[in-house]
């Protein structure tokens, strides 16, 4: 399996997504756009396209962030979807998937930073990829926005602070507003770049302090993510064959 990551910032690391890909022996490549890496010219050599998060949003212009090409990423994502690739977007990446499918992103009702439960919908019960999630699951969060919805999109999970935590755009295309990839190492990187938000934690219902973020155990949600990715890889391979 050939897995390609688009990484927007050094502190928005792939975490458990990369661990899964390497432990399964998949070929892993990157477009670290913050370091000047180009986007792939084509999706021919990609099976899984995984688009990570970032402090940008899909409306961020090249003038505001020269290394972020929102329109270029949307074109690449649309090409991957059209070619039948497996596509996963995390946070900003999920919003870019929606935009690529003509579904504008929106602001979430609440800022969420920390570890809080998501709740699975009836749509999740109809998809075997999520059968192991249970009815509720504690997952990581680090966001202000949420992905748009196409007419065919299914909301798989929501939280008290955000109505679109996991969105299924098709049987192989998924937006995760939540951050199931968080590890202690990734959390430290995010803490170091979120001083302003975290210093105001008491002002928000769903924002943890740095000490609370460090105290969480992220391993259970990582394992749930690995199983989801294994199931998606099997689905992709079966359809591809």
The model's pLDDT over 22-79, given as tens digits with 9 standing for 90+, comes to 999 999 999 999 999 999 999 999 999 999 999 999 999 999 999 999 999 999 999 9
Fold category of 2-240 in CATH: Rossmann fold (3.40.50)
Q: Give residues with Cβ within 8 angstroms of 236, minimum separation 6.
A: 1, 47, 48, 85, 86, 172
For the chain, the domains span: 2-240
pLDDT of residue 241: 55
Q: Which two tokens stand for residue 140?
A: 């990581």
Cβ-contact 143, 190 below 8 angstroms: no
**Tokens 């098709």 identify what position?**
170
Phi first, then psi: what are they for 66, rounded to 5°?
-60, -25
Q: Is residue 106 predicted with pLDDT exceeding 60? A: yes
pTM, to two decimals: 0.97
> Taking residues 227-239, what's their average pLDDT?
94
Kindly report the length of the chain.
241
Q: What local confidence, expressed as pLDDT, does residue 5 receive?
A: 98
- Say if CB 74 and CB 49 are below 8 A apart: no
Distance CA 139, CA 177 (A): 11
**Residue 205 three-state SS:** coil
User: Phi/psi of residue 111, each to 5°?
Assistant: -70, 135
Alpha-helix residue ranges (DSSP H) falling in 116-218: 122-125, 184-192, 195-199, 210-215
Render pLDDT for 160-207 as a digit per residue (tens, 0 to 9).
999 999 999 999 999 999 999 999 999 999 999 998 889 999 999 999
Q: What CA–CA distance (Å, rounded) separates 179 from 58?
A: 18
Q: Answer yes or no: are the C-beta atoms of 43 and 83 closer than 8 Å.
A: yes
**DSSP readout, 62-111?**
TTT-TT--HHHHHHHHHHHHHTT-EEEEETHHHHHHHHHTT---EEEEEE
Residues sharing a CB contact under 8 Å with residue 209, sequence separation 6 or more, in sequence order: 198, 201
Percent of the chain with pLDDT strictly greater than 70:
99
């Amino acid at each position: 399996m050939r897995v390609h990551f688009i990484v927007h910032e050094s502190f928005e690391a792939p975490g458990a997504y990369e661990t899964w890909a390497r432990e399964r022996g998949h070929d892993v490549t990157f477009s670290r756009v913050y370091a000047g890496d180009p986007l792939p010219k084509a999706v021919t050599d990609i099976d899984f396209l995984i688009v990570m998060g970032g402090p940008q949003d899909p409306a961020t212009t090249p003038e505001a962030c020269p290394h972020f090409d929102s329109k270029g990423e949307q074109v690449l994502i649309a090409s991957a979807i059209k070619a039948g690739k497996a596509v996963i977007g995390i946070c900003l990446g999920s919003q870019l998937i929606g935009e690529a499918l003509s579904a504008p992103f929106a602001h979430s009702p609440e800022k969420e930073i920390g570890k809080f439960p998501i709740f699975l919908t009836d749509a999740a019960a109809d998809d075997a990829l999520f059968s192991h999630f249970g009815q509720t699951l504690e997952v990581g969060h680090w966001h202000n926005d949420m992905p748009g919805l196409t007419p065919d999109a299914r909301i798989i999970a929501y939280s008290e602070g955000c109505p679109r935590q996991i969105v299924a755009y098709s049987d192989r295309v998924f937006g995760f507003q939540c951050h199931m990839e968080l590890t202690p190492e990734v959390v430290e990187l995010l803490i170091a770049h979120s001083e302003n938000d975290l210093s105001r934690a008491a002002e928000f219902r769903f924002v943890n302090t740095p000490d609370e973020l460090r105290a969480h155990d992220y391993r259970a949600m990582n394992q749930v993510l690995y199983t989801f990715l294994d199931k998606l890889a099997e689905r992709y391979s079966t359809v591809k064959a």
